[in-house]
Amino acid sequence: MNFVSDIMFRVIRRLISAESGESFSFVPSKRQTFPRMPGMVDFYVHIPYCRNHCRWCPYNTRPYCDDEFPSFFENLLSEVRQVISAGALLYGKSLYIGGGTPTCTGRFLLDFIDCLVKDFGSPSTIAVETSVDELTLDMISGLKASGVAQLSIGVQSFNGKRLQSLGRVVHQTKATDILKSVAHAEFENVNVDLMHDVQRHSLADLGEDIHCAADNGADQITIYPLFRFFTSRGVCMPQIIRRRRFYSFLWNIMQSNGYVPVSVWSFCRPDAIRKFSSVQRRLFVGLGPGAATSLEGLFAFNTFDCKAWMQRISSRLPAYSLEMPISANMRALYDLYWDMYELHLPKVVSEKLIRNRLLNFIAQGAQFLGLCDDDETLTQRGAFWIHLMQNQYVLNYINKVWSASMRTPFPNMIRL
């Protein structure tokens, strides 16, 4: 973010949140015991390993190293046991396994899921992230046998040249063949991630990739504009006019292929059983290096450093490196943010929001301007503005928290 947009962002944030900059700061965690967990709660598990590193990837990843897998998964199970002892219950809630590319750990991943289900009961759904080259036929049947219901496959593009220009390794396996095999296995929801570089790829390129995903059985398609994270020139936001063109093309083509928007980035077939996302859960316990935990009064990050994470867990200490206390107002803001991410703008916002009158006024203004329907659903124009806001917010957040956490296992205070 440049200096002017940073100031604007802070002023607007202050105005609509009534919170000072301090409230949006992460402080180093001094916790020696886990906070009391709220009983049944969603779980997020982070498995950082990837065989290749993609140029613009901001996630906490680690080069593939099968020698590390036994101790990594042993620590992961210990961390699960520790949060369960602190009161968390997985039974009946969702288990989301993201990364990294979890399936590259092969049998270790499947044994981990089997062990969780056996020891702590069946979650309501199990979702796993993967990529084209880490999804063999054996892995597909292994995931099915372990009760995985939702799969998200990072395809990014079906075209080799576009993959290269996105900084991705060209698929060794044919993405369409993998998608067909996955469709045959009848998961409840198969999401395909695509990336689009607004500056380099044409809308026709995007249309081609969307058709390929739709024709080969994707229940859900998520399209991310390529974000250029951690660049020395700061966050790179493409020109607004190009971005607007991209977004309306996206809505029109997805709807003409029979998909409905379910979030600012994702479109789902109306008959798909569930929608797939790691970020739409409001309260969750995070496990593994770099995983976030979101509880009623607390938002925390585990240390991103795998060695430091293992040391903490084997000493039976929480692996949190950063924490942000969450007041009732902040929690209501967080919920409103994710409501809008899921294209819902309530006419009357929560009374827990300090600025609820101002926000109700803004919500009514949005209706008046046609950004939102009568049934409180954002229209294409409304979703476009939320998608830009989300883009700005996420880039700022990731650039600050991720880059500090990747430099050192236990960073100092970070102001968002």
Ligand X SMILES: C[S@@+](CC[C@H](N)C(=O)[O-])C[C@H]1O[C@@H](n2cnc3c(N)ncnc32)[C@H](O)[C@@H]1O
**Residues within the interface to ligand X (CB under 6 A):** 50, 56-57, 59, 98-99, 101, 129, 131, 154, 156, 193, 195, 224, 226-227, 229
Q: Which residues pair with 128 in a beta bridge?
A: 97, 151
Q: Distance (Å, rounded) from C-alpha 385 to C-alpha 225?
A: 14
Q: List Cβ neighbours of 4 (8 Å cut-off, separation of 6 or more).
A: none
- What span, in angstroms and rounded, lies between the C-alpha atoms of 218 and 132? 13
Q: Does residue 100 belong to the site contacting ligand SF4 (CB under 6 A)?
A: yes
DSSP three-state, residue 28: strand
Cα 78 to Cα 359: distance, rounded to the nearest angstrom: 43
Q: How far is the CB of 49 from ligand SF4 (least distance, A)?
A: 8
Q: Is 416 in the site for ligand SF4 (CB under 6 A)?
A: no
- The one-letter amino acid at 125: T
Confirm or reject binding of residue 54 to ligand SF4 (CB under 6 A). yes
- Find the shortest distance in angstroms from Cβ 374 to ligand X: 33
Choose, by CB under 6 A, the member of 34, 59, 72, 187 that binds ligand SF4.
59
CA distance 277 to 222: 10
Q: Which of 154, 261, 288, 411 binds ligand SF4 (CB under 6 A)?
A: 154
Q: Which does 227 bind (CB under 5 to 8 A by kind): ligand X, ligand SF4, none?
A: ligand X
> 229 touches which of ligand X, ligand SF4, none (CB within 5 to 8 A by kind)?
ligand X
Does residue number 101 form part of the binding site for ligand SF4 (CB under 6 A)? yes
Q: Determine phi and psi for 132, rounding to 5 degrees.
A: -55, -45
274 is written with which tokens?
Answer: 């569930």
Direct distance between the N- and C-terminal alpha carbons of the chain, in angstroms, rounded to an integer: 12
**Residue 53 contact partner, candidates ligand X, ligand SF4, none, CB within 5 to 8 A by sort of partner:** ligand SF4
Residue of minimal CB distance from ligand X?
A: 154
Pick the closer one to ligand X by CB: 29 or 156: 156
Instruction: State which residue, 17 or 61, has the beta carbon closest to ligand X.
Output: 61
174 binds, among ligand SF4, ligand X, none (CB under 5 to 8 A by kind): none
50 binds ligand SF4 (CB under 6 A): yes
Total binding residues toward ligand SF4, as defined by CB under 6 A = 11
Closer CB to ligand SF4, residue 53 or residue 415? 53
User: Cβ atoms within 10 A of the Cβ of 231, count?
Assistant: 11
The answer to whether residue 45 forms part of the interface with ligand SF4 (CB under 6 A) is no
Which position's Cβ is nearest ligand SF4? 57
Number of helical (H) and strand (E) elements in the chain, helices listed first: 13, 18
Strand residue runs (E) in 241-396: 260-261, 266-268, 284-287, 292-295, 298-302, 320-325
Give residues 113-132 in contact with ligand SF4 (rule: CB under 6 A). 131
* Single-letter code of the amino acid located at 134: E
CB 216 within 8 A of CB 260: no
| Residue 358 vs 389, nearer CB to ligand X | 389
Taking the least distance from each CB to ligand X, the nearer of 161 and 357 is 161
Separation of alpha carbons 288 and 357, rounded Å: 40
- DSSP-assigned letters across all residues of 117-133: HHHH---SEEEEEEEGG
Write out the two tokens for 278. 């790691």
**Out of 35, 99, 142, 411, the residue judged to bind ligand SF4 by CB under 6 A:** 99
Q: Is 175 in the site for ligand SF4 (CB under 6 A)?
A: no
Residues interacting with ligand SF4, by CB under 6 A?
A: 50, 53-54, 57, 59, 61, 99-101, 131, 154
